[in-house]
Structure 1
Amino acid sequence: MSSINTVQSLNTEKTFVSPEYIRNRFSKTMSDMYKNEVPLYGELLDLVQEINNNVISESKEIKEQLERTGEITRLNMERHGAIRLGKPYELFTMRRLFKVMGMFPLGYYDLASAGVPVHSTAFRAIENTALNQAPFRIFTSLLRLDLIDDDKLRTNIETILENRQIFTIKALELIDKSEKENGLNKEDADTFVKEALETFRWHETATVDHEMYEALVGQHRLIADVVAFKGPHINHLTPRTLDIDKVQSSMEARNITPKDIIEGPPTRKCPILLRQTSFKALTEKVTFKGKTGTEKTGEHKARFGEIEQRGVALTKKGQDLYNELLDKTRKTIGGSPNAENALKYNQLLKENFKKFPDTYQELQSEELAYFHYFTTDKIKNLSKDKTHTKSDVNQLLKDGYLTTEPMVYEDFLPVSAAGIFASNLGTDDAEREYEETSNQLLFEKHLGESVFKLTTWYENTQNKTIEKCLAQINA
């Protein structure tokens, strides 16, 4: 896709930049901002790029896999961020803002069941080509006010949130313009990126006094992070590594203290889903609200550095097996892993996951994971006596007319996200249980549209590659 699109509107030619152009600009500008705000993040990027370059130079198999799926060009610019919003208007408008960048809501995540009083979606591109051109995601959470059990505090929170506006006037104007005209020109796009970035910037001054802040922390540290500030400062920007174990073991040498546990599945020959680690959240100075001359200085923890390794996406069958093995491991150690039980947890996890096949051939044949399908040179020798259909795919694969590459998991894991939150906020809140959990219908009402169902997205993406292969075979 070209970075410039020309469209006709009311018989007047208008030249618009593509959503990929805007998304790349936004991702790069945000990364520069975060590097300036959190210098350790820049050190993390250097470490990840060094390890990625080493993996690619040492593994011909991984290099060829990334080249065939189109991921190799995006690897070192890949980022995912996370924000936490306070009220429905913010979620509704954030959806509109991300749509300007060609990002749409995929998946519903219930973090309340993992002890975090939010529910979430992830905004990203939905076409493979667009993903490879600008692989930027934002995991976006909305505070669940209905889970706050203190009526007076909940009312105070509603008032605090009602009185804030996290979007600039100019950003809102450009969102309106993009919706009305179906795009933005380069000048407007560059202005949009600059204005949109203000929503994600860190503010050292809180919007509440210290007493209110402590009351918010008493409910949940994440609630304080959502409510006590002018906007949803980006709390991490995550690069993608090809060897997270190497990153974990190399962080200390760069004076980066990693969390104790890598979240997600254990080390495998064929990585699945998502593995994540991070350096611990910064302790940052904050000035709390007060009468002039009576402001109080305190501390707040929220922003950290996260790293992820992405593996193959799992089918529902594969996801169910993953959940079963992860739950079994956690129940054995009595809950979430921590520094005290890290060694035992990792040993148990590795042992339990022996049940999960660890070759791509088994993952494909047992329908545990999703794959991209490609034809081989052998198809020119294939008989044209019959029209091949989807039911022939496994035989065509067995006979060498087709080959596969793993489809990377583009999304998130709620249990892992909760584990990252808990370890970085220095709290045991992830052990908390909420009586009310999933409420996808309410979330989608606040969002203003339905989220894309993840399994459907992966199935459709896999089917497109199969259909392309059959078209080539039957031509």
Structure 2
Amino acid sequence: MTQTDLLSTNDVRDRFSKAMSAMYQAEVPQYGTLLELVERVNQETLSQQPELQRRLEAQGELARLSVERHGAIRVGTVEELSMLRRLFAVMGMYPVGYYDLSEAGVPVHSTAFRPIEDDALARNPFRVFTSLLRLELIESEALRQRAAAILAKRDIFTPTVRELIERYESQGGLTSEEADQFVKEALETFRWHQDATVDLDTYQALHDEHRLIADVVCFKGPHINHLTPRTLDIDEVQRRMPEMGMNPKAVIEGPPRRESSILLRQTSFKALEESIRFAGDTQGTHTARFGEIEQRGMALTPKGRALYDRLLNEGRKQTAGLGNDDHQAVMNKVFAEFPDNDEAIRHQQLAYFHYHLTDTGRAFNGSVEKNMDALVEQGLVEAQPITYEDFLPVSAAGIFQSNLGGAQNDAYAANANREAFEEALGAQVTDELALYAERENMSKENVLARLKANT
């Protein structure tokens, strides 16, 4: 077998994400309705905003808009997390960022498995936000031991997918036929199971501690709990969801609506109540799976994130208990301090930008300025905001809470432990800000090199 017989990880990821979407639409028909709504709003937005369409085309993001989505799962043991790292590597997805959700009263910490290279993101930017349950945060030792014993009995991976992961690692890739088999077997880890692995009393005890704990511990595997299409107008999708028979969460998470979008805004339709058969043939219900939507803006620098975090905390204090319209109005006032203009944001170094030559720049053959601002002012170079590819801990926790009954436990708060998470993962997580900084710096170097080559 030669390397040319092996499929690229980008192709494997593309096949998997499409298969995952088809599976989730079959399991949660309302998700298909959500996809239709997002597609309609996106097309309307592009027709109304030709400059937005031009920018997305220039950034190579228009083609990927309809396939861009992320999923989310929650696992219960270090062994499950470590094997998931190996599984996602088959698809060219690597752990980026550490997220401590205990700060919002949710007993998990997380990372996002995603592509890292620009060409991989352009091909298919599928991501999976992956959380590890933190049993050590459960106060009751008896309940903690019971949960650990239940988790120790399950294997969330099929024997065949384990074999295929090992084959990928030994031969450096999978053939097309092996990749198709891998996708089929890997989907079993993410599939919904209506049969719980515990009796109703055990489920209820874990549920009373925190609904998320019951969701992670009481089933055969970490069923995918949502997939997330990307919209260009999340406010309009939120407004129209009830018209399509969907019950949206109370408020849109993240920053308010802006001309220059920053970071990430998220909302969802609320979790479905689904029939469950517990051990002993007792019938009951469980709520876990929902439909999320995201609107992505520009990635912020450490300086920009510090400003964002300060304004978000201030806004959250003022918006407690408000409906979405009032919530957004207050957040708009609070965020007035954050510049709402690409050039102002760039000059204040609040966000990362990708620099490329304009038509004038490509034809230029004079002396070269090394000052990027001067090159932009001369019209030789254009700066485009780099899209934020990652997540926001408070927003993720807000989505979790709204779909788990709003429950939280302050006893879990402020328990970040990145070192323990990376030990469980079996690898270090990549610093997402370093990736954005590297991309910006490389684009500057490429611009200067090309200008120099023209002289």
User: TM class by shorter-chain length?
Assistant: over 0.9
The one-character-per-residue Cα deviations of 1:196-229 (angstroms, maximum 9, x if unpaired) are 0000000000011100001101110000000000
Shift of 1:129: 1.1
CA distance, structure 2, for counterparts of residue 103 and residue 217 of structure 1: 32
Q: Does 1:260 align with 2:250?
A: yes
Instruction: Specify the SS of the correspondent of 2:228.
Output: strand
**Aligned CA distance change for structure 1 residues 381 and 21 (closer, same or farther; 3 Å):** closer
Instruction: Give the letter for the 1:78 counterpart.
Output: E
The answer to whether the 8 Å contact 1:147/1:436 transfers is no
Q: 1:376 to 1:235 in 2, by over 3 A?
A: same
| Aligned partner (choices 130, 133, 146) of residue 143 of structure 1 | 133
Q: Secondary structure at the match of 1:17?
A: coil
1:232 aligns with 2:232: no
Q: Give the counterpart of 1:367 among 332, 349, 356.
A: 349
Shift of 1:376: 1.6
One-letter amino acid of the counterpart of residue 452, structure 2: N
Partner of 2:340: 358
Instruction: Give the structure 1 partner of residue 391 of structure 2.
Output: 412
Task: Measure the CA separation in 1 of the matches of 2:327 and 2:49.
Answer: 30
Identity, % of aligned pairs? 52
Q: Alpha-carbon deviation of 1:380? A: 5.6
Looking at structure 2, the residues matched to 428 and 186 of structure 1 have their Cα atoms a distance apart, in angstroms, of 45
* Distance of 1:144 and 1:400 partners within structure 2: 53
Q: For 2:238, what is the secondary structure of its paired residue?
A: helix
Structure 1 residue runs of 4+, over 4 Å off?
340-343, 380-386
Amino acid at match of 2:287: K
Q: CA deviation at 1:397?
A: 1.3
Which amino acid in 2 is paired with 1:198?
Answer: E
Which amino acid letter does the alignment assign opposite residue 12 of structure 2?
Answer: I
Number of equivalent positions: 453
1:192 aligns with 2:171: no
Residues 156-206 of structure 1: CA deviation (Å, up to 9, x unaligned): 111101100000000000000000000000110000000000000000000
Determine whether 1:132 maps to 2:122. Answer: yes
User: 2-side partners of 1:380 and 1:442: how far apart?
Assistant: 50
Query: Contact (CA 8 Å) 1:221, 1:427: kept in 2 or not?
Result: no
Q: In the alignment, which residue of structure 2 is the partner of 1:75? A: 65
Answer whether contact 1:82 1:237 (CA < 8 A) is retained. yes
Name the amino acid aligned to 1:459. A
Alignment of 1:19-418 (within 5 A): 19-290=9-280, 295-333=281-319, 337-338=320-321, 340-379=322-361, 382=364, 384-385=366-367, 388-389=369-370, 392-418=371-397
1:408-463 per-residue CA deviation (whole Å, 9 max, x = no partner) reads: 1000011001111111111331x634255110000000101100001101001111
- The answer for unaligned runs of 5 or more in structure 1 is 1-5, 9-13
| 1:443 correspondence with 2:421 | yes
* Structure 2 residue 2 is matched with structure 1 residue 16: no
- Output the CA distance in 2 between the equivalents of 1:201 and 1:63: 36
Contact 1:240 1:308 in 2 (8 A): yes
Contact 1:444 1:450 (C-alpha < 8 Å) held by counterparts: yes
Give ranges in structure 2 of 5+ residues lacking alignment.
none
- 1:156/1:470 Cα in 2 relative to 1: closer, same or farther (>3 Å)? same
The letter for the 1-side match of 2:309 is N
Flag the 1:185–1:348 CA change in 2: closer, same or farther, 3 A: same
SS at match of 1:306: strand
The Cα shift of 1:7 comes to: 4.5
Q: Is the 8 A contact 2:365 2:451 kept in 1?
A: no
- Change in CA separation of 1:451 and 1:352 when aligned onto 2, cut-off 3 Å: same
Counterparts of 2:87 and 2:424, CA distance in 1: 15
Instruction: State the distance in 2 between where 1:213 and 1:365 align.
Output: 54
Q: Work out which of the residue numbers 390, 405, 410 in structure 2 matches 1:432.
A: 410
> 2:399 & 2:413 partners in 1: Cα distance?
22
Which amino acid letter does the alignment assign opposite residue 442 of structure 2? K
Q: Shift of the alpha carbon at 1:385?
A: 4.2
Normalising by structure 2, report the TM-score.
Answer: 0.97
Distance 1:152 1:371 in 2: 52
**Larger mean Cα displacement after TM superposition, 198-207 or 51-60:** 51-60
Q: Secondary structure in 2 aligned to 1:397?
A: helix
Query: Against the structure 1 CA distance between its residues 95 and 49, is the aligned structure 2 distance closer, same or farther, given a 3 Å change threshold?
Result: same
Whole-Å Cα distance in 2 between the matches of residues 434 and 186 of structure 1?
45
- The TM-score, its normalising length taken from structure 1, stands at 0.93
The aligned amino acid for 2:332 is: K
2:403 counterpart SS class: helix
